[in-house]
Amino acid sequence: MEKIYLPSEYQRRIKRVLVSQEEIASAIEKVGQEINESYDGRPILLVSILKGSFVFLADLCRAITVPCEIGFMCAKSYYNDTVSSGVVKITMDLDQDVSKYHVIIVEDIIDTGRTLCDVVKMLRARKPLSLKVVTLLDKPDRRVVDFHADRVLFTIPDLFVIGYGLDYDEYYRTLPYIAEYDEGGNEDV
């Protein structure tokens, strides 16, 4: 693994790496192959829930060799804190008519399940040919609604995580791995 330069503020906030860059790449390659085998010759629309899933989507679509289109939605439930607000707001919707596609929602993390539950209900009402959810991370201990993804790459404990698209107050998205966020940040450093 190559050495990654991180500013000291980033280093102080990383408690530990939970999922390495190599583990992520390997899991995405496997899921890409599964999608290739399942959807060959069928119209696919990968839907990224912004902002957190854009890194996952970029790597996943490169692992998919069958033709697919990409769409973006923005659904927010975190507002400058490490705890979900409990309110899901769709701030950007899809341009595509999903009734012409097998839709695969590409999500970064399922925490309470509220966001995905609302997005799935909205998209199902638009009658896609099929609808699946692929999530990079799942935190089942935090679930407050009954929601399960069709494909989970990694199940993690109830920790606030950063990296690989996930943020704290818009920072840390560029880390190439998933790390536990250290709120105290080693204040004595």
Spatial neighbors of 110 by CB under 8 A, at least 6 apart, are: 116, 135, 137, 138, 139, 143, 147, 149, 152
Q: Is residue 43 part of a domain?
A: yes
Q: Is residue 168 part of a domain?
A: no
Instruction: Look at the chain and count its residues.
Output: 189
| Domain range for 93 | 20-157
Q: Is residue 8 part of a domain?
A: no
| Triad 123, 124, 126: Cα angle to 5° | 70
Q: Is residue 9 part of a domain?
A: no
Q: Is residue 5 part of a domain?
A: no
pLDDT of residue 188: 44
Q: Is residue 185 part of a domain?
A: no
pLDDT of residue 73: 93
pLDDT of residue 90: 81
Q: Just list the catalytic residues.
A: 111
The predicted model scores a pTM of 0.87
Helix, strand, coil percentages (3-state) for the chain, rounded to 5, are 30, 30, 40
Question: Low-confidence residues of the chain, pLDDT below 50?
Answer: 1, 79, 188-189
Q: Is residue 177 part of a domain?
A: no
Residues 167 and 175: beta-carbon distance below 8 Å: no
CATH number at residue 148: 3.40.50.2020
pLDDT of residue 109: 95
How many folded domains does the chain comprise?
A: 1
pLDDT of residue 5: 58
Q: Is residue 150 part of a domain?
A: yes
